[in-house]
Structure 1
């Protein structure tokens, strides 16, 4: 457990120090990267750790050993692993490189402003970082790239937005929903936009890869149904983040209420399927993108508001560590106990 807690304490301490001593930077990327070095080392030096690592090892091995077409993953992720196999045939090293890439992209995406720097330290890192880099490799890399795409949209670099969005979706299709919500956020909310979002979601199932979504439904149906209160934690977290942020800054559009509706719908879905929990986390990540890119943040953030964000961080790391401790005992590569690659 200490291998996950100590890097977070390091990030909190030195991240806060850099924040106070350098308050007018054009970018906080270098400082945030330095503060995340211990956590990144935990990611790249791990042994058989991370719930889905065993599954990814078998799939990546299948990809690089000639059975490319039969691998049930998105083309972007398959081509990435195939490219990395030209550098090394060691599957563990390939997985470590993907974790490193995700780390760099997500840090880059949340280090442009002082406020995004704080959001990363207090919310994104404790709730998402280990899961994105050590468990859900595809969604982690895809969401990190989608967050980078949102920056380009904010800066009116539309061509780059489309290119980066395409890359994100090719890594994992679920980021399509993130991209759609980000894109329509640029417009004044009207009923026709809600209609267009629904149409876009339907088309995503038709045009991207219907077999992929069918496989996803089958995969979720084989999982044990979660308890009826499993979705309460992410729902509670979403509402707390929304309320505290709204006391600091104001959203530029009403699309945030659409996120709230989607979060509530996902909560009810989580009572019957694990897919609901996945969607709840997707909506939380999208909320963080909205917060750092599409809100009007004051130049000076009151200290009590920063402590409120710190409080959210404690909730986030507690929820994540609880998930680690409650993992299924039959998981081949659990988060606990942590081991380094030389200890395998």
Structure 2
């Protein structure tokens, strides 16, 4: 447990020091990476930690031996696996490399200002970082790319947004939901037509892409159909997290937040779906991540930033409790997601 808690404390202390130190006017990539470095080492030096790690090791092993071996993933991740296999490196190295890429992108995106660094350290890290880099590395890479895609969207760099969105969705299909939620309220109609035309053009160039996409989407739905939420209270913690952040932004933000209300509807619907299937919990995680991206790109509308961040610090404790629950609670018949922690040299390959 200390392998997770101590890097987390280090990250918080360094982040708070940078934020409240008036002599430090601006932070950058290396400020955030320095604060994250102990956690980064834990992520890339791990052994078979994470319920999906063995699957990914098998995937990269299959790529190195026979392209027909291993579990089937989205085409973008398949392509990435093929490119990595060409280097001749070990499956463990390739799994760690995906975590390195994810970490680099997140540090790049969340180091443009002190408030963004605070959001990463207080919310993104406890809610997502360990899972992004040590368990669901595919969706971690996809969501990190979506983060810089949404950054480009807010800066009206629509071509960059389109390219990054396509890459993210090709790696993990759930990224499409984040893209669509931000796309329609933020893009002007004339550009919206061009972006939709870009997606249609891609399908025209790759005529089998749509059928391939729908087949994979159906396979995922079929995989979830027999899975129910682990308990009647499942999903209540992320819903509470979402609602607190929603209320805090409404109270201290100024402006019309139509997109924020759309995210609220999506989160509530996901919570209802979680009463019947495990897929609802995954959807909740998507909308929680989306509202953090919303807060990241709309900080300029916060009227009282100091008071706002006091509530974000309180929200951080809820995020930490959610993480502790996720690493301690074990679903019957499943592996422990993060415990016991082992370094890669402690595993018997």
TM-score normalised by the chain length of structure 1: 0.89
Q: How does 1:144-293 map to 2 (within 5 A)?
A: 144-187=144-187, 209-250=213-254, 252-293=256-297
Does the 8 A contact of 2:143 with 2:168 survive in 1?
yes
| d(CA) in 2 for partners of 1:223, 1:158 | 38
Please state if 1:307 is matched with 2:310. Answer: yes
2:118 counterpart of 1:118? yes
> 8 Å contact 1:23–1:114 — kept in the other structure?
no
Query: What whole-Å deviation, never above 9, does each CA across 1:84-121 have from its counterpart, x for those lacking one?
Result: 12224311111111011111112222222222111111
Shift of 1:229: 1.6
The CA deviation string for residues 240-298 of structure 1, in whole angstroms up to 9 with x for no partner, is 11112333333553021111011111001001111000000000101111111135345
Distance in 1 (CA, whole Å) between partners of 2:278 and 2:216 is 17
Task: Report what 1:39 is aligned to.
Answer: 39
In structure 2, the residue corresponding to 1:229 is in which secondary structure? coil
CA distance in 1, matches of 2:70, 2:95: 20
Bigger shift: 69-78 or 254-263? 69-78
Structure 1 residues 301 and 147: CA distance shift in structure 2, 3 A: same
The alignment's TM-score, normalised by the length of structure 2, stands at 0.88
Moved more, 67-76 or 99-108: 67-76
Give 1:300 shift.
6.5
Shift in alpha-carbon separation, 1:332–1:233, aligned structure 2, 3 A: closer
Give the distance between the partners of 2:248 and 2:124, measured in 1 at CA.
15
Q: Check if 1:2 corresponds to 2:2.
A: yes
Determine if contact 2:302/2:308 at 8 Å carries over to the other structure.
no
Q: Does 1:331 align with 2:339?
A: no
SS in 2 for 1:271: coil
Residue 30 (structure 2) pairs with residue 30 (structure 1): yes
User: What is the CA deviation profile of residues 102-158 of structure 1, one whole-angstrom value per residue up to 9, with x for unaligned ones?
Assistant: 111122222222221111111111111101111111111001000101111111222
For structure 2, the 5+ residue unaligned runs are 204-208
Work out the CA distance in 1 between the residues paired with 2:253 and 2:170.
33
Counterpart-to-counterpart distance in 2, 1:40 and 1:226? 30
Q: Deviations over 1:202-249 (max 9, x none)?
A: x9x955611111211122124354322201111111001111233333
Deviates more, 1:331-340 or 1:4-13: 331-340
Give the direction of change, closer, same or farther, for the CA distance of 1:249–1:225 in structure 2 (3 Å limit).
Answer: closer
Cα separation, 2, equivalents of 1:188 and 1:157: 12
- CA–CA separation in structure 1 for the residues paired with 2:93 and 2:222: 30
Contact 1:150 1:161 in 2 (8 A): yes
Q: Match of 2:76?
A: 76
Contact 1:102/1:144, CA 8 A, preserved across alignment: yes
Alignment correspondent of 2:206: none
> Does the CA-based 8 Å contact 1:270-1:277 persist in structure 2?
yes
SS at match of 1:250: coil
Return closer, same or farther for 1:168/1:251 CA change in 2, 3 Å cut-off.
farther
Aligned counterparts of 2:287 and 2:48: Cα–Cα separation in 1: 29
The 8 Å contact of residues 249 and 302 in structure 2, kept in 1 or not, is answered as no
Note if contact 1:324-1:336 (Cα within 8 Å) is conserved in structure 2. Answer: yes
Aligned length: 332
Moved more, 102-111 or 90-99: 102-111
Unaligned runs of 5+ in 1: none
Provide the rounded CA distance (Å) in 1 between the counterparts of 2:89 and 2:115. 40
Task: Check whether the contact 1:47–1:342 (CA below 8 A) recurs between aligned residues.
Answer: yes
